[in-house]
Amino acid sequence: MDKRRIGSLQVSPIGLGCMSMSHGYGPADEPTSIKLLNEALDVGYDFLDTATMYGGGKNEELLAKALKTRRHEYVLASKCALFKKDGKPTIDGRPETIRQQCEASLQRLQTDVIDLYYLHRLDPNVPIEESVGTLADLVKAGKIREVGLSEVSSDTLRRANAVHSIAAVQSEYSLWSRLPEIQMLKTCEEFDTTFVAFSPLARQFLTGKAQDATHYGDGDIRTNNARPRFEPEAFAKNIQLLEPLKDIAVQLKCTTGQLGLAWLMAQANSQGNKTLVSIPGTKHIEFMRENIGATQVQLNDSLRDEIGALLHEDMVIGARYAQGQMKVMDSERDRD
């Protein structure tokens, strides 16, 4: 499998988002998750993404429990500054908080170093220079190898890079969420920063297996923060956008989900960013195996462009997040 670069690190073009095994999509079965994580390494995943926020640290503990003896087989990414306090999501990018959370993550992960450590969200009360300066100190101390940012604007990336090189920017990117195309992909190219796409399958939408919000429980983000596009009336119209992609998937002998991931891999050269990695998340072993299979789907430039025109954010009904969630985002359109 071809490798893609994140700073000094080398990873496969499709990594594994681990959030849903502890957070965001309802309860998960721990024995199944442990089996999934091990099988993921066996079938070719070598980039695993977790965070302090996911399950209040439980996701990091899960990775350590499942893969402690296999730590050398994968690149490990985690995140700081976003967590729950008194049951409410809190953003705190102060230096002392970042240092404390890094130490706690290292203990939960049972590792000496985190390969890629992101500022999970920009703290509007703390200059990005202070937060990144602290992350740079953690690099010098050997606690982390590379610095990343999540859900930030191009302006923030520029300011951060003046303090320390940023190896990766993570944000939502898929056929139905094109925000990074406004400016971020070009800015990443300018600074030799890898773009890491989360929710590349549009929260299961692109697989054709998703349902409207009424089918999910309270612990599922499609019933709250990510609800707008899954509202019954909006979803009934949005799901029709998949029909032309189904025909292409049949021709290529792949699933619509694999087609969406293959489109993202092909975007690395078309959007001014030569290094782009996606991290589809799942708590289901069969979906994990299906997702990595997308690396076998090849798209030429013409077909890539055709797919991108068949399903585009401008066609989708509903915002990607509820209004309250949008207010904490630091990105070109989301902050307007």
Q: Catalytic residue numbers?
A: 54
- Type of residue at 98: I
- Name which of 74, 78, 2, 83 is nearest 37 in CA terms: 74
> Two tokens at 61?
């503990």
- Name which of 107, 45, 69 is nearest 292 in CA terms: 45
- Name which of 32, 33, 4, 6 is nearest 18 in CA terms: 33
- CA distances to 32, 80, 112, 151, 325 from 335, rounded to whole Å, are 39, 21, 37, 11, 11
d(CA 243, CA 53): 36
Do the beta carbons of residue 115 and residue 77 sit within 8 Å?
yes
d(CA 260, CA 206): 7
Sign of CA dihedral 264, 279, 256, 23: negative
- Which residues have CB under 8 Å from 293's CB, separation 6+? 254, 258
CA 59 centroid distance within chain? 15
Phi then psi dihedrals of residue 90, to 5 deg: -130, 140
Sign of CA dihedral 224, 198, 67, 106: negative
> Two tokens at 33?
């998750």
